[in-house]
Amino acid sequence: MIPERPDNSFCMAELARTSGEWLRGDGPESDIVISSRVRLARNVAGFAFVTRASADARFQIVQIVKSAIQHEIQNRPVHHVNLESLSALDGQMLMERQLISRELARGDGPRAVAISEGERHSVMINEEDHLRIQVLHSGFALDDCWMECDALDDQIEEAVPFAFHPQLGYLTACPTNVGTGIRVSVMVHLPALRLTREIQKVHQAAQKINLAVRGLYGEGSQAMGDFYQISNQVTLGKSEQQLITEVKEVVSNIIGWERRVRDLLVRDKRAELHDQVARAFGVLTSARSISSEETMHLLSSLRMGIQQGLIDNLDLATVNELFIHTQPAHLQTLHGEPLETAERNNVRANYLRKRLNSSSLG
């Protein structure tokens, strides 16, 4: 039976106050790896792809997928969010939390997202493809992501036949995703490599083996706060496991590289590094107005400062959370009303001062 239209009972204000599990700052290699993600692109057989499907067909797809997911993903309760009736601000907030893409947030017509409690799983409905199934973990945990994503894919496929071609695999709206439909990505924090201008070599090394290096919010976004997403581009001709192994190998090398450069910086340029972290801390705990971009930049220094033992009483989870909570939509939701840019900068500065108050420089 097809359930009724989603009603967004998922409370956005409540969501804004918390943070997803992937921001906990734990998991393997969490000093450098923020999160790991696996997503699968799927389309429902017998329906035109999203751009050519009528509003009626897209509505049916939302119902079919919702019905397949029901109320639980791997023993976690599921919230179904109807994007069509969601405000632009709430849509942006889900985007800032990495639960939906910019394309889904800003699209039109029947579209939705199913989110499991803890925000580990999300299924976007009617993005570029009918389904984008995603699993997000804190730290370097691609195998766990794949295991859960594979199982969630099976769960949905029990009820929904997917468009599949014996030679070409899962069929997607864009042929860059055809085959496995998989995108494996790891978000890494590389302040030392950026500081020493070695980041260019990371780009080159990744490109050589067809991996993409992107900013925090994926395609076309800037590498704000020294966050980079490393992901596969090839989806056809290699198995999911092969593609995951390739990304794992490259990311492992990058982790080692960043650590070596950090250690060298601490050994050879401790005073400069300490000064940079202290200045970042100073601005973040005393500014009266601060932009989102400057915040990201300074929080990046702070994050590295924690790792290198230059700051006391501040944990990774808090800094990770601040990266998200100081983004425009989160800030406005936490504040309880829409804010113009200048007001936002004031509110952001207040928020940062309040949150960082109890910390001190090491």
Partner 1 sequence: MKKCRRCTKPATLHVTEIREGEAAIVHLCDTCAKEYLEQRPDDTPPTIGSDLASKLDELIGAVHSPASCPNCGISFNEFRDSGRFGCSQDYPEFLAELLPLLENIHEGVEHKGKRPRSTVVGTQEQGQLIQLRNAQRNAIEQEDYETAARLRDEIVAIENAVREEKPKKTRKKKKPAAPE
Among 1, 4, 9, 52, binds partner 1 (CB under 8 A): 52
HEC profile for the chain? CCCCCCCCCCCHHHHHHCCCHHHCCCCCCCCCEEEEEEEEEECECCCCCHHHCCHHHHHHHHHHHHHHHCCEECCEEEEEEEHHHCCHHHHHHHHHCCCCCHHHHHCCCCCEEEEECCCCEEEEECCCCCEEEEEEEECCCHHHHHHHHHHHHHHHHCCCCECEECCCEECCCCCCCCECCEEEEEEEECHHHHHCCCHHHHHHHHHHCCEEEEECCECCCCCHHHEEEEEECCCCCCCHHHHHHHHHHHHHHHHHHHHHHHHHHHHHCHHHHHHHHHHHHHHHHHCCCCCHHHHHHHHHHHHHHHHCCCEECCCHHHHHHHHHHCCHHHHHHHHCCCCCHHHHHHHHHHHHHHHHCCCEEC
Query: Is there binding between residue 68 and partner 1 (CB under 8 A)?
Result: no
Query: Is there binding between residue 108 and partner 1 (CB under 8 A)?
Result: no
Rounded to a whole number of angstroms, the minimum distance from the CB of residue 143 to partner 1 is 15
In the complex with partner 1, the residue whose CB is nearer, 134 or 326, is 134
Query: Is there binding between residue 161 and partner 1 (CB under 8 A)?
Result: yes
Among 234, 266, 278, 317, binds partner 1 (CB under 8 A): 234
Contact by Cβ (8 Å): 227, 216: yes
Query: Is there binding between residue 57 and partner 1 (CB under 8 A)?
Result: yes
Contact track, partner 1, 128-147, x by CB under 8 A:
x-------------------
Among 28, 31, 47, 89, binds partner 1 (CB under 8 A): 47
Among 18, 54, 87, 200, binds partner 1 (CB under 8 A): 54
Query: Is there binding between residue 62 and partner 1 (CB under 8 A)?
Result: no
For residue 289, give both structure tokens: 């107005």
In the complex with partner 1, the residue whose CB is nearer, 61 or 299, is 61
Binding to partner 1 (CB under 8 A) within 237-296 occurs at 237-240, 242
Among 9, 75, 167, 341, binds partner 1 (CB under 8 A): 167
Rounded to a whole number of angstroms, the minimum distance from the CB of residue 226 to partner 1 is 25
Rounded to a whole number of angstroms, the minimum distance from the CB of residue 278 to partner 1 is 42
Count of residues in contact with partner 1, rule CB under 8 A: 46
Among 4, 14, 56, 340, binds partner 1 (CB under 8 A): 56
Query: Is there binding between residue 168 and partner 1 (CB under 8 A)?
Result: yes
Contact by Cβ (8 Å): 131, 41: yes
Binding to partner 1 (CB under 8 A) within 175-194 occurs at 175-176, 178-180, 182
Task: Give the binding site for partner 1 (CB under 8 A).
Answer: 43, 45-49, 51-52, 54, 56-57, 128, 150, 153-154, 157-158, 161-171, 173-176, 178-180, 182, 210, 233-240, 242
